[in-house]
């Protein structure tokens, strides 16, 4: 056992020696002082667990030393045992206790009694010290918690102020999804802050969809129409909900409803315009195309024949553009029709490659693998996907004018088709957006023509055929577009 220092104060060296010997034999570390003045100097420099103090000393007697020690914060709680050869009258014992002592031993000293008292008071001192340390730790913990709680309250108040100032409907929920806060905007759409707004009957239920997100633990987003209370009008809102994590545990969810009704109406008007304009352009363009084809057949002049071919090429491009715009209009209105039936994929692919070789004679189109499989789907629409993938490969190719078409049957009983070029490639940050409507890579906008709608239409066609699809690319290392279609 490791003990703290014990200070013995006595004006007689022989007493100091005998007391020190007894305590040292029992593993107590001991320090000594031969006068009250020397003792006070040592107390200022060192810390002691117990003081054994002789009462009768020249100069400062033991009572005066004890009274002086009680005035020091450092030694105020150190227990003092008085030693005295004087009478044990009540007045001496009383003064000893009032001076700060906790016990009184008369000389001659019984070593066993001394050791018993030293051990007892030393143990009490250690327990008191430990209790004080625990009290200090608890006091620090309480102060820390108070400070943390104050900071949390301040942050919560700041967050609440922010949520109240934004135009969106903002809310927070517990980890279980139970609403715990909603801002004032919430009351424009629902009469209670403890209930989610009701969705339009044809839309997905908000609370059920949110519950599914809670199970996954992932951010959640959906477009939904909710009814404004003042006029009972349903308006489109974008609902976004994010989890708040701490130590790999979701503490709560924070979400907003953002009004997107105006954007929805703008998109609707744009789509209606595209649809009307495309239909109106289709009729005169068909007529122009027919007359140009007649001129091609009637002309014997090589120069005129060349000009007619160029005009026909541009007319075909315009015809394809209008067809794509019409397809977008059909997709947006849910009217894109599919004539699905069983067909052999290999002959369709061969026809697409023959057409590609005629359209782009300067390119080499190489097919690798077999595609002799029966597919159930719309042959014309899947052909449209292949044509689009191949035309993109040609459009963005560099000096190496080769396009590889790979086909194989996967272990999941699907036909995998990929179209690979060796062109400029696509940065990774753009790849996930390629199949979005009107999306174009900024670096390629200035060098190539197009509206960014071909891949969007391809994505819709492939989704309607339950296909997996995507793109793999590295800048300056070419691009591969692929899709896999179930055989059954």
Same domain, 348 and 383: yes
Secondary element (H or E) of residue 282:
helix 261-298
Residue 56 within a domain: yes
Main-chain phi, psi angles of 461, to 5 degrees? -65, -45
Same domain, 371 and 471: yes
Residue 216 within a domain: yes
pLDDT at 481: 93
Average pLDDT score over residue span 257-276: 80
Write down which residue in 308, 333, 358 finishes a domain: 333
* Helix, strand, coil abundance in the chain, percent, nearest 5: 50, 25, 30
Residue 111 within a domain: yes
Confidence of residue 442 (pLDDT cuts 50, 70, 90): low
Residue 82 within a domain: yes
Q: Measuring CA to CA, which residue among 181, 186, 176, 195 is closest to residue 252?
A: 176
The total number of structural domains in the chain stands at 4
- CATH number of residue 293's parent domain: 1.10.287.130
Same domain, 245 and 288: no
Confidence of residue 343 (pLDDT cuts 50, 70, 90): very high
Same domain, 61 and 125: yes
d(CA 133, CA 129): 6
pLDDT at 2: 44
- CATH number of residue 184's parent domain: 3.30.450.20
Lowest mean pLDDT: which of 45-49, 124-128, 246-250, 443-447? 443-447
Average pLDDT score over residue span 189-216: 89
Same domain, 357 and 297: no
d(CA 146, CA 251): 21
Write down which residue in 228, 259, 290 finishes a domain: 259
Same domain, 246 and 271: no
Residue 148 within a domain: no
Residue 462 within a domain: yes
pLDDT at 354: 92
pLDDT at 405: 93
CA distances from 358 to 306, 353, 399, 406 (A): 16, 9, 19, 20
Confidence of residue 247 (pLDDT cuts 50, 70, 90): confident
Same domain, 254 and 205: yes
Same domain, 476 and 355: yes
Taking the CA atoms of residue 225, residue 436, residue 345 and residue 362 in that order, the dihedral angle to the nearest 10 degrees is 160
Average pLDDT score over residue span 182-193: 90
pLDDT at 229: 92
Residues 6+ apart with CB under 8 A from 452: 437, 438, 439, 440
Same domain, 295 and 384: no
Range of the domain at 354: 341-486
Same domain, 457 and 413: yes
Check whether 159 has a pLDDT greater than 70: yes
Confidence of residue 446 (pLDDT cuts 50, 70, 90): very low
Write down which residue in 232, 259, 286 finishes a domain: 259
Lowest mean pLDDT: which of 29-33, 203-207, 288-292? 288-292
Check whether 448 has a pLDDT greater than 60: no
Lowest mean pLDDT: which of 1-5, 177-181, 427-431? 1-5
- CATH number of residue 371's parent domain: 3.30.565.10
Same domain, 64 and 94: yes
Confidence of residue 256 (pLDDT cuts 50, 70, 90): very high
β-pairing, 468-473 with 402-409? Answer: unpaired
Q: Measuring CA to CA, which residue among 25, 37, 123 is closest to residue 79?
A: 123
Residue 160 within a domain: no
Residue 18 within a domain: yes
pTM of the model: 0.45
pLDDT higher at 442 or 209:
209
Same domain, 397 and 323: no
């Amino acid at each position: 056992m490791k003990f703290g220092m014990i200070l013995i104060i006595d004006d007689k060296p022989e007493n100091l020696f005998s007391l020190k010997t007894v305590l040292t034999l029992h593993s107590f570390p001991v320090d000594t002082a031969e006068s009250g003045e020397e003792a006070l100097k040592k107390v200022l420099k060192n810390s002691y667990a117990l003081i054994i103090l002789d009462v009768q000393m020249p100069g400062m007697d033991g009572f005066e030393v004890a009274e002086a020690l009680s005035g020091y914060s450092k030694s105020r709680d150190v227990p003092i045992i008085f030693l005295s050869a004087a009478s044990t009258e009540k007045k001496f014992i009383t003064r000893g206790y009032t001076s700060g002592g906790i016990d009184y031993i008369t000389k001659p000293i019984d070593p066993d009694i001394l050791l018993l008292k030293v051990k007892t008071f030393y143990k009490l001192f250690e327990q008191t010290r430990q209790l004080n340390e625990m009290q200090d730790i608890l006091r620090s913990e309480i102060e820390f918690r108070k400070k943390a709680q104050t900071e949390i309250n301040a942050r919560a108040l700041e967050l609440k102020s922010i949520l109240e100032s934004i135009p969106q409907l903002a809310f927070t929920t517990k980890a279980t999804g139970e609403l715990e806060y909603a801002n004032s905007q919430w009351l424009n759409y629902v009469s209670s802050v403890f209930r989610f707004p009701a969705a339009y009957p044809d839309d997905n239920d908000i609370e059920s969809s949110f519950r599914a997100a809670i199970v996954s633990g992932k951010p959640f987003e959906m477009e939904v129409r909710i009814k404004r209370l003042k006029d009972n009008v349903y308006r489109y809102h974008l609902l976004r909900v994010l989890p708040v994590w701490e130590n790999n545990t979701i503490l709560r969810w924070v979400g907003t409803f953002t009004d997107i009704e105006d954007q929805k109406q703008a998109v609707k008007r744009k789509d209606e315009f595209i649809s009307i304009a495309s239909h109106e352009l289709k009729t005169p363009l068909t007529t122009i195309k027919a007359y140009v084809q007649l001129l091609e057949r009637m002309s014997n002049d090589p120069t005129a024949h060349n000009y007619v071919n160029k005009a026909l090429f541009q007319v075909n491009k315009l015809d394809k553009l209008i067809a794509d715009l019409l397809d977008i209009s059909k997709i947006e209105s849910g009217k894109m029709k599919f004539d699905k039936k069983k067909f052999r994929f290999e002959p369709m692919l061969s026809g697409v490659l023959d057409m590609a070789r005629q359209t782009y004679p300067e390119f080499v189109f190489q097919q690798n693998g077999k595609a002799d499989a029966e597919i159930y789907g719309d042959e014309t629409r899947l052909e449209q996907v292949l044509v689009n993938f191949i035309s993109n490969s040609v459009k963005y190719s560099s000096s190496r004018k080769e396009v590889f078409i790979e086909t194989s049957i996967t272990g999941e009983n699907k036909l995998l088709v990929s179209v690979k070029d060796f062109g400029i490639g696509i940065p990774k940050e753009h790849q996930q957006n390629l199949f979005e409507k009107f999306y174009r890579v900024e670096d390629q906008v200035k060098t190539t023509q197009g509206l960014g709608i071909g891949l969007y239409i391809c994505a819709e066609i492939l989704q309607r055929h339950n296909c997996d699809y995507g793109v793999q690319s590295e800048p300056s290392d070419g691009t591969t577009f692929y899709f896999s279609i179930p055989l059954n």
